[in-house]
Structure 1
């Protein structure tokens, strides 16, 4: 099969993918890239080849990529500035002989009218990979169910309310764990070259329906107030969120920008997330988790 590289291996997605991959292939064939190797000492002890790599420092990448045949390129977190990081990674991987790059993208990344600004980074990266000469697979994830069960539900339960600009746009929320399993499936199975897969959960659900589900599970009220985009910006302003990605303070308390969140909600409202597929089950061999299952798993962290 050859050696498989996982970038960002000390992040939540990367670590989960690394642990699953270590159970699937020979451990010496797993290469884990990270800016903080010490955080992966336990996986190194299991036999993984942990290497330092910084996508902002191209000189660190040739050695990090050496010997890899496939790479899972996990999108970095810096909205608006990560395309340069991804380009450095792709160019170094191709130069080192990587023949297949699997990229964690987002649903509707290829739809030009999609208003979500996050799609620009993802589509630009997809195009870089497609033009690199290597084989590719784009994993276009829907919104993570964990983002609803945790960061959205907890403050909504605390306040008893949630302003929202998503309207009645449906989303087939997908578990991060299912996306991880799908990525590892693509890396370890034949026949996925030059394909784009939209990864979703099993049910199309609106944000108001999701909050009603959380309210029912918690036994506490959540009132969803439908607001326009300007009111949503005002809400995030009150939280102290930066308006633009360029205003995000490194390692600050809020690692996202309100224009990202508001345009994400607009994309949901306009139907760009209204897609349900069976790729998770087809690639992993198991049915994807429901939003309710993910919420029940997170209930212990809720303010009840």
Structure 2
């Protein structure tokens, strides 16, 4: 049997997937890739194969992909330029004989009317993977619960207000843990080739409802201030957030752009994230985590 490859194994998602795979797959059948393989020392000791792979350097990829049968391609963080990276990885995998590529995409990226610009990179990557002729499994994740529990809840509690352009749009928030579980499932089970799965939590909740839950759990008030898209841009401008991906300073203090965030909110408001599926339970056999359970996990990081 060929090996299972995990790209970006030094990142949060990849690290969690690698650890889980080591529990069910012999270490010698696992290949963990990173641009910084020195960060994978903990895995080298298990007997897994640690390889350097730089998606910006296609010449580095044939050796990295050698012997692989299935690959988890984890989306890189470079919004706007990552499609080229993903395409290089997919083509190299196909050339190396990999027969299945599972890719961490986003929910409803195939809807042409979806206004979230983040969908553009994911859809283009899905198309690049399809073009290789390799079996694909698209893991179209909804918004991570952890993003709400940390990146949204903490400043909202600190300021007591949360400017928001999502309206009453609901989101099937999903824990990253469940997304990792699904990814491991499709890599270690049969029958997932040429499928696109909407990966969601068990319920759809609006941002105001989520902030009310945070407020109640923390015992501190949060006022959700409903603003339009221009108001949301103004808020991010006041924080010094660059408007476009092309304006992001490499290795700068803010690695994301406001047009990404604002259009994501537009998509939520328009109902594109209002989806709940049974994919987590069907693939993993486990009930997906609720948003409240993730809040409880990270509540200790909230300001008191």
Check whether TM > 0.5: yes
Distance (Å, rounded) in 2 between the aligned partners of 1:99 and 1:84: 21
Partner of 1:158: 158
Distance (Å, rounded) in 1 between the aligned partners of 2:21 and 2:249: 34
Partner of 1:220: 220
Distance (Å, rounded) in 1 between the aligned partners of 2:186 and 2:141: 14
Distance (Å, rounded) in 2 between the aligned partners of 1:55 and 1:2: 22
Partner of 1:256: 256
Residues 103-252 of structure 1: matches in 2 within 5 Å?
A: 103-252=103-252
Partner of 2:52: 52
Q: Give a deviation string over 1:192-227, Cα, whole Å, max 9, x none.
A: 000000000001100000000000111101000000
Q: CA deviation at 1:250?
A: 1.3
- Structure 2: which 5+ residue stretches go unaligned? none
Distance (Å, rounded) in 2 between the aligned partners of 1:15 and 1:50: 13
Q: CA deviation at 1:2?
A: 2.4
2:170 aligned counterpart, secondary structure: coil
Matched, 1:31 2:31: yes
Distance (Å, rounded) in 1 between the aligned partners of 2:38 and 2:216: 42
Residues 1-12 of structure 1: matches in 2 within 5 Å?
A: 1-12=1-12
Distance (Å, rounded) in 2 between the aligned partners of 1:46 and 1:157: 42
Partner of 1:69: 69
1:146 aligned counterpart, secondary structure: helix
Q: CA deviation at 1:179?
A: 0.1
Distance (Å, rounded) in 1 between the aligned partners of 2:284 and 2:228: 39
Q: CA deviation at 1:48?
A: 1.2
1:174 aligned counterpart, secondary structure: coil
How many aligned residue pairs are there? 304
Distance (Å, rounded) in 2 between the aligned partners of 1:281 and 1:251: 38
2:265 aligned counterpart, secondary structure: helix
Partner of 1:301: 301
- TM (norm. structure 1) is 0.99
Distance (Å, rounded) in 1 between the aligned partners of 2:230 and 2:46: 50
Q: Give a deviation string over 1:111-146, Cα, whole Å, max 9, x none.
A: 000000000000000011111111000000000000
- TM (norm. structure 2) is 0.99
Distance (Å, rounded) in 1 between the aligned partners of 2:178 and 2:137: 16
Runs ≥4 residues deviating over 2 A: none
